[in-house]
């Protein structure tokens, strides 16, 4: 289904020759979700997990009229999503909004938003072709949101911790590698291990061990940047966080914050007793910094995702060999 959605966005992009496109699904009379977005030609899937209030926006008009409209271009800055606006603003684009009609009643179940440079409209033949595709797109979205909802949820969310799964991490890591390869930039990875977890399991039992995993997951969620960083349960009692737009200095600060919070906390058992938990953390980022003797400027070279993961794991093992409760960085 992910592949079909991606191909759908790519088809829309080719027809409209737009570098910024979003598709929203209508949840109720006030709220919509985000299916996905293309930003500067790069696709990001959201599977309807982001919810946005569209009260007092052009979406209300589109839903009531069932017709295509063009409005001034706005932006939901939190997620970088194009969104139509009744008011003129300083953006250099308009938003072409195309309703998706679904169900037997043919009500608006979703809206395609395509950005266009002000003064440049979509050719009538291309617009007509896009409108001819909207019933198919609506059907694809309905199948994804209805028949595939549970499957998507189970594939991307860990049942025990409610963090993302390793499967989802691998997808997002590939997207991040593609982004920095095209546009430049940096990302970092935190690989986190609960120290002496087998002993915790042995001394406290299976139920308490699972609660430890949940409490560390909560600590991780509370420490990262919401809607930016990607926290995941990696495997067993290991966690991993993908940190976009973050160099190793920033990643180290976050890693130390997480380590200290765990070290200074008491994790409660069901019987009221408390457990002390420490963490070992390995950190790596996606660039090599080469110091040139001939030039005062340092040279940065991009490395593969496999190498980033290898380095993060190496630093985690180094932290464990150094006595645990450590943060180690591949500078």
What is the full DSSP assignment across 266-320? -EEPTTS-EE---EEEEEEESEEEEPPSS-SS-EEEE--HHHHHHHHHHHHHHHH
Which residues have C-beta within 8 Å of that of residue 288, sequence separation ≥ 6?
A: 300, 301, 302, 303
* Mean pLDDT value across residues 9-26: 91
Contact 243, 251 (CB under 8 A): yes
Instruction: For residue 253, give both structure tokens.
Output: 């600060």
Same-domain pairing of 269 and 166: yes
- Specify the 3-state DSSP secondary structure of 157: strand
What does R_g of the chain's alpha carbons equal in angstroms?
23
* Mean pLDDT value across residues 187-196: 97
Taking the C-alpha atoms of residue 117 and residue 237, their distance in angstroms, rounded to an integer, is 49
Which pLDDT band holds residue 194 (cuts at 50, 70, 90)?
very high
Quote the pTM value. 0.57
Q: What angle do CA 79, 81, 86 make, to 5 degrees?
A: 125
Residue with more model confidence, 51 or 202: 202
Taking the C-alpha atoms of residue 270 and residue 14, their distance in angstroms, rounded to an integer, is 57
Instruction: For residue 16, give both structure tokens.
Output: 């409209």
Same-domain pairing of 142 and 166: no
Average pLDDT along the chain = 89
pLDDT at 151: 59
Same-domain pairing of 122 and 197: no
pLDDT at 212: 96
Q: Give buried/exposed letters for 292-313 (b at 16+ CB in 10 A, else e).
A: eeeeeeeeeeeeebeebbebbb
Domain count within the chain? 2
Look up the CATH number of the domain holding residue 192.
3.30.70.270
pLDDT at 297: 57
> Which range, 28-42, 235-249, 297-311, is most confident?
235-249
Same-domain pairing of 65 and 83: yes
Same-domain pairing of 138 and 167: no
* Mean pLDDT value across residues 186-191: 97
Same-domain pairing of 38 and 183: no
* Mean pLDDT value across residues 182-201: 94
Same-domain pairing of 166 and 67: no
* Mean pLDDT value across residues 197-215: 95
* Mean pLDDT value across residues 250-270: 95
Backbone angles phi, psi at 237, to 5 degrees: -105, 25
- What Å distances lie between residue 112 and 17, 49, 98, 323, CA to CA? 14, 17, 5, 54
- Could you tell me the end-to-end alpha-carbon distance of the chain, in angstroms, rounded to an integer? 39
Which pLDDT band holds residue 210 (cuts at 50, 70, 90)?
very high
* Mean pLDDT value across residues 134-162: 76
Residue 255 sits in which domain range? Answer: 157-329
Q: Which DSSP letter does residue 293 get? A: S
Which pLDDT band holds residue 7 (cuts at 50, 70, 90)?
confident
Domain termination residue (choose one: 119, 135, 154): 154
Which residues have C-beta within 8 Å of that of residue 146, sequence separation ≥ 6?
A: none
* pLDDT of 317 strictly over 60: yes
Domain termination residue (choose one: 124, 154, 184): 154
Domain termination residue (choose one: 139, 154, 169): 154
Same-domain pairing of 68 and 115: yes
Look up the CATH number of the domain holding residue 68.
3.30.450.40
Same-domain pairing of 100 and 236: no
Same-domain pairing of 86 and 186: no
Contact 74, 62 (CB under 8 A): no
């Amino acid at each position: 289904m992910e592949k079909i959605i991606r191909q759908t966005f790519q088809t829309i992009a080719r027809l409209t020759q737009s570098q910024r496109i979003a598709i929203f699904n209508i949840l109720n009379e006030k709220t919509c979700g985000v299916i996905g977005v293309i930003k500067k030609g790069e696709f990001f899937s959201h599977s309807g997990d982001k919810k946005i209030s569209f009260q007092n926006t052009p979406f209300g008009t589109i839903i009531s009229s069932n017709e295509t409209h063009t409005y001034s271009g706005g932006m939901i800055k939190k997620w970088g999503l194009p969104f139509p606006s009744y008011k003129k603003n300083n953006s250099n684009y308009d938003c072409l909004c195309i309703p998706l009609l679904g169900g037997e009643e043919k009500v608006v179940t979703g809206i395609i938003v395509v950005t266009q440079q002000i003064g440049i409209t979509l050719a009538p033949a291309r617009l007509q072709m896009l409108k001819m595709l909207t019933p198919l797109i609506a059907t694809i979205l309905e199948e994804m949101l209805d028949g595939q909802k549970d499957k998507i949820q189970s594939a991307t969310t860990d049942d025990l911790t409610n963090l993302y799964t390793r499967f989802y991490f691998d997808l997002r890591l590939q997207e991040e590698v593609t982004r920095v390869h095209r546009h430049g930039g940096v990302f970092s990875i935190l690989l986190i291990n609960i120290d002496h977890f087998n002993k915790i399991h042995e001394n406290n039992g299976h139920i308490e061990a699972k609660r430890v995993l949940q409490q560390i997951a909560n600590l991780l969620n509370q420490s990262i940047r919401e809607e930016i960083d990607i926290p995941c349960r990696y495997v067993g009692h290991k966690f991993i966080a993908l940190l976009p737009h973050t160099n190793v200095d920033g990643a180290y600060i976050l890693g130390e914050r997480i380590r200290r919070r765990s070290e200074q906390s008491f994790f409660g058992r069901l019987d009221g007793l408390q457990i002390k938990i420490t963490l070992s953390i390995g950190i790596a980022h996606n660039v090599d910094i080469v110091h040139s003797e001939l030039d005062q400027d340092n040279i940065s070279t991009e490395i593969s995702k496999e190498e980033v993961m290898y380095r993060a794991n190496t630093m985690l093992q180094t932290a464990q060999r150094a006595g645990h409760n450590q943060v180690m960085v591949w500078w």
